[in-house]
Amino acid sequence: MKTTTHAEMRMQQRGGSGALVEYIYEGGEEIGASRGATVIRIPEGERQTEIKRLRRELRLLEQAGGKAVLNDGDVVITFMSLTKKLRLDKRRSRNRARYE
């Protein structure tokens, strides 16, 4: 995406970055136009919803450290903490863990 010198100056003055501008440009919605130029923003409701979703996902990702699920096809057999090294049965597909 191209930016003008004016836009780069404003980004610097207002604490914006190229990544932020691109994020708004790619994911925002057009809310109006003036003399051929378009205003793009991320609506507050959408922004808050996405923040909640990402926080939940981050929390789950943090909690997933050292944890595993043992399954057989679509059936979850158990949930476990990985406190010791698993022996993997190389004869079975998808490296399913063997009970120790």
Say what the pLDDT of residue 22 is: 95
46-93 confidence digits (pLDDT tens): 999 999 999 999 999 999 999 999 999 999 999 999 887 777 766 655
CB-based contacts of 60-67 (< 8 A; 24+ apart in sequence):
none
| Residue 100 pLDDT > 50 | no
Predicted confidence at residue 83, as pLDDT, reads: 82
CA distances from 64 to 55, 61, 71, 97, 99 (A): 14, 5, 16, 17, 20
